[in-house]
Amino acid sequence: MRKIIIHLQHNLKHKISFWKLKNLKDIIQQHGLTFLTILIFVEILEHVGGVLLIRWLGINVHEYFNAFLPAPFLMCFHWISAPIVFFIYMKIKKK
């Protein structure tokens, strides 16, 4: 149980540290504005879209999905949200 709590604390600290102004400036200097834009949209998609999707599943599919509502805040879904946002960004920019 202790390992789970430590893992959850680490994930929450990582997600909160992303939004610090110093961290965002470092990302712009290191990777450029395009990468920062994609990264911010990935985070928004994860935390807003993930919660809305799980809530929709809880209402329309089965009520047990409501148990997963805190999942986007405790787990990292970059593996699915980053490719989606990157594909949309490239379609908009026509590159």
Full 3-state SS string of 22-79: HHHHHHHHHHCHHHHHHHHHHHHHHHHHHHHHHHHHHHHCCHHHHHHCCHHHHCCCHH
pTM to 2 decimals? Answer: 0.57
pLDDT given for residue 95 in this prediction:
63
Report residue 87: phi and psi, to 5°. Answer: -65, -45
Measured CA to CA, the distance from residue 39 to residue 29 in angstroms comes to 14
Distance CA 55, CA 36 (A): 28
**Predicted pLDDT of residue 61:** 92
| Number of domains composing the chain | 1
Residue-by-residue pLDDT tens, the chain, 95 positions: 888 888 888 877 877 777 777 877 887 788 787 888 888 888 888 888 888 988 999 999 999 988 988 887 777 777 777 888 888 888 888 76
**Structural domain containing residue 26:** 2-93
